[in-house]
Each structure stands twice: as C-alpha cells, then as structure tokens.
Structure 1
C-alpha cells in the first residue's frame, strides 16, 4: 500500500502540459458536436474527435507532435532508428514511446497499436500504391494527415515553403485541440525568420548552394519543390538544383560541377557521418574544380533541420550566417 504524505509532489512542467492536453482532449471527445475539417494535400479530412492514440512517422513529424505537447496522446512512432540518431534531448522524449517499425510501418503495425490517427507523408511512411495510405487506413477508421511538403508526390509541381510548416502546425493544433500552443510555436518561428531577414537586408549576391544528402555513384539532393529550397532562399542563397522540378531526388555529378556551387550543405544523418561525407566530397576527382571544394565551404545541418520541422528556423539562421558573415558580425 502506498503511503500518502502531506506535501504534494510537483510534476515537471512538461508532464503537466501532457496531462492538461490529455484532459482537454478527453473533454472534447465527449462532446458530440466537436469535429474539425482540414485540408491535407488534395483531400479534405474530417476528424470527429481529438486523437488519443496517435502515431507519427519520421523524426521531424514526431518532433512536431512532441513540441505540441502531445506525447500523452501518442501510442508510438515509426521510421527513426533505421536512419537517424536523435539529439539527446529528443531521444529522452522518445525513450518511453514504442517505435512500431524502424523503417516504414505496416498496416498490421498500426492496427496492433490501435491507432486512431496517423501523421505521415508521401515517402515519409507512405508510398503511392503502397499498403499504408490514407485510403487503406480509412477502411479501419484511422484518419491520416499528410505532411504538406510531401504533397509534391501526389500534386505535381507543388512547391514546399515555410508556410507549409506553419500550416501543418496550425492544422495539427486544430486536430488535437491545442490551437494556442500551435500558434505560439508558429509565431516563435516567424519571429526568428524575420530577424534573419532584417539582418540580411537586400543582398547583392546570393551564393550558390548544393544540398548533399547522400550517395556516391549518384548524389541525392533537393530540387526546387523541396523544403531546402525555401530554407536556402530565406538565408540569402540560391539552390543550384532549383532548375529541377523535384522534391528530394538523384542528380548527376556532372550537373553539380556545371553549377559550380560556392557552398555545400551536408545533411547529417544516415550510416555515414557528416565528416565522412565531407571527406568523400573533398576527395572526389570530378569535384576538384568546384568552388566549394577548393574553398572548403561546407555547412552541416541535421536531418531534422532541413526537413519540415520547428528546427527550420535554426537552419535558416545557421545558413545565413555562413553565406553572409558580414551581416552577422558582432
């Protein structure tokens, strides 16, 4: 038997927010009139009650739900351990949440978890024509909200932007009935981006940037439809692959040499470390004439910062300071 004391125990602030969010969700769930409709890619999705058993895919989408204070309403996540190593503070949040699948989740994974909501995206946990899609999950009463950046896979030539991140946060705020929390996060991001823009002013030059995700025989990079395009633009640079109507895709080394990037943005994740990726690029015979290689101009950002997330603001700050150091000098 547990013995009670007269001194109440103070719960950590994060835990209190989880309890409050869960209680609010339960109250709303008991109201027969509560329902919200949001736009998800090219669909209208109606959520009948705030989710209580949500699942997210990928580290960036999972981090969004955690920042919204929704851990108490999650039953798991997928698609992290096979590809990414979370920062220690994020890993601490994940430690008592089960990973349903290290890579893409199966329909059985989601049904076994009794999920009532799936936050994912195209090539972020779902594939066109695959087993797990909004249509396949709808048969089991599991609504799906799609990451807006991923909509380019089902909506040709759709360009990703920071507004997608803001919109996703606000839509998730409506879905989970935490609108005030979501709006606070959006305004915090917007203020940081605006501060960068104020420091940059009108820059006469926009340094050329190549995004290097991975790949040796053929590099994997980001075209004008992906989030890095928006981040580089906001940081006062130009994505050298902005002529490619793609999101994340393979390009040729010849195209990289032809564009002669002045900076290379290395995405830090995967089996190879950022240092190993840098060494590979520095030693690549075909790249020796490239300005970024000759000047050793590299920027390293974690996966979480270059995919849609709250860390996009930090990515813009880091990139802008590297591309335009004179604007950020003390």
Structure 2
C-alpha cells in the first residue's frame, strides 16, 4: 500500500509543478496557459453523490471510467483526451464515438483488478454500478479516497434503489431519465465543461420527443430479456426498461417485480404471453444466450416459449445491453422499441 500512496502523491506533485510552470510561462504556450486558466475557474467542485460528498480540486486529466455507460458519457462530452483507461464493456461503443474510444486504452473487458486501475495513477474514477465500487468490486470508494482519488458513482444505481440484497438490486422508486441527465451534468461539471453537458442533455431530450411523438402503445405488452437461457434475467418494473416502457405508454408484463433483473422461469413468461419481446444483443460471453441470435434460437425451440404470440409472429426488438441499462443509450432503447412497435402495428 505505501508504494501506491506515494505514487499518487508523486502524481499530484507533478501536476502542481505543471501549474507553476504555466503561471510563470515556463515553456508553455499562451493558448495552453489560457486553457489552463479557464480549466481552473470554478474549482474546487463539490457534489453530493450517492450519500457522499465528492470534492474535485481541479479538472481531471487522468481519469479512469470503470463501466461502459460512464465511459460513453465522458466520450460524448468530448473528454477522450482526459481518459487514461476504461473497463467493463458489454457491447461495441456507441455509434459516433468509435474514433475517440479507440484512443483510450481498455485495461479489461470485464472488471479489472484494483492494481490495474491504480497502475494508471488516476486522478478521478467513475463507475455506473455500485457493485463496481463496492464489496467484491474493483475497490471501495473509501479505498480510492484514502489515496486521494475522488470517485463518482452513477446516481441511476443508488437513488431510489436498494443494492443490499443479492442480484442486481431492487427499485424502491421508478427510475426516470432525470437521473441520467443528472449524471451527465455532474460529470460535465467535474471536468469543467458544463455547457457540453447541457448540450448533450438537450439532444437526448429531443431524441425522446421525436421517437415518442406519434406513439400510443397502451394496448401493447412487452418483455425485456437481458441474458441467460436457463434462468433468464428479465426486466422488472422500474429500471431502464421501465423508462422505455413508460415513455411509449406500453406495459411491462413483469411490472409487478421490483427487482432490477429478476430471474423468472419460462412457464411464468408463457402465462403472461407478451406481445413483443425486447431482446438484449450482447457481445460479452459471461452468460448463456448472450447474443440476440442465440436468444431467438432458444425461444423458437423451447417448448415453453415457442408458442408465445411474440415468438409465433416474430415480434422481436433487438437492443444493445447498454440500451437496457440506465445510461444515455436508454434513449436508443426508446427509439428502437418505438420503431419496432410501429412496424408491428402496435403504436396506436
């Protein structure tokens, strides 16, 4: 532990030294100096985040984001040059971010070790899920903060959510896009680019408005399947699929389940017989039936599911895993499901 702590302190001293050089004009261009002055404005930044107070003394320059959702927000804010590493991906990066994402090292496809993260000497760490920055995760927030590294956890995974049980937690309140917008604004403020945050939020709102403008799916029932064939993870009422369902005025057949992703048997699914199956098309390989192709193959051959109305009529909507998580790509989920409902004649 002492060597790691001393490394973090050395990094801080190096940054401090660069600030002094900038102030004295020591080899730094005036434009770079102006940029540094602008970046220093408004700091320190202090936020309330998931029951903690987070203070960032200056705009991060060597951040590490530990989940794809957090990474895609930072890339969408134009902050690839401030990211030293990312980890934990379920899907290809969001369209339009490919070039920026390619410039940021991916230290692990799934959850990295704390040693790998600390080897990057981060000055800020962000994550989408409490499980990443908690027991059994990369490291706890306390451990990072003891080393002088501020952390940020997406409010979508803590506000109105109980993560103390097993599985993916349970919602005590319905999630809304406001929590996602709040995360965008928080991260934009931390990095000193609040105007970019507002622009991104406005764009996301506009996309939802366009996608739902002519949709009334009040007679349509949906089921969301994320992963696993033997004991499928299906969406409960109140996470990201709940946002999609509510925006379109439809009904989730498991709206009575408070767990984020309860595991429900196929006989129960058959009893509820949804009109449309929203299927996660994942590229990871940690569960059975990750890809949409594998899921559809299972549905059309399994005795309990092959006679579902949605299966017989092939009413499938394919979504990335990220679109089914509470991220900026939940908007992509609204768009894709709306498009599917129109094509099936279920959009009103």
Give the aligned partner of residue 199 of structure 1: 214
- Is 1:78–1:104's contact at 8 Å kept on the other side of the alignment? yes
Range with bigger deviation, 235-244 or 295-304 = 235-244
Aligned pair count reads 303
- Over aligned residue pairs, what C-alpha RMSD do you find? 2.6
What does residue range 39-118 of structure 1 map to in structure 2 within 5 Å?
39-80=48-89, 83-86=90-93, 89-118=96-125
User: Which ranges of structure 1 fall in alignment gaps of 5 or more residues?
Assistant: 1-21
Q: 1:154-189 deviations in whole A, cap 9, x for unaligned?
A: 486243221111111111111111111110110111
Inter-CA distance 302–119: structure 2 relative to 1 (3 Å threshold): same
Separation in structure 2 between the aligned mates of residue 131 and residue 327 of structure 1, nearest angstrom: 43
User: Which ranges of structure 2 fall in alignment gaps of 5 or more residues?
Assistant: 1-31, 165-170
Instruction: Tell me how far 1:108 sits from its aligned partner.
Output: 1.4
1:215 aligns with 2:224: no
Give the aligned partner of residue 37 of structure 2: 27
Range with bigger deviation, 167-176 or 241-250 = 241-250
Give the aligned partner of residue 258 of structure 1: 271
After TM superposition, the score normalised by the length of structure 1 is: 0.83
Which one of the candidate residues 315, 321, 327 is aligned to 2:333? 315
After TM superposition, the score normalised by the length of structure 2 is: 0.79
Inter-CA distance 133–248: structure 2 relative to 1 (3 Å threshold): farther
Q: 1:259-292 deviations in whole A, cap 9, x for unaligned?
A: 2111101111133431221111111111133221
- Is 2:218–2:251's contact at 8 Å kept on the other side of the alignment? no
Inter-CA distance 238–88: structure 2 relative to 1 (3 Å threshold): closer
Inter-CA distance 25–291: structure 2 relative to 1 (3 Å threshold): farther
Inter-CA distance 210–127: structure 2 relative to 1 (3 Å threshold): farther
Inter-CA distance 214–328: structure 2 relative to 1 (3 Å threshold): closer
Inter-CA distance 239–139: structure 2 relative to 1 (3 Å threshold): same
Instruction: Tell me how far 1:133 sits from its aligned partner.
Output: 1.9
Give the aligned partner of residue 184 of structure 2: 169
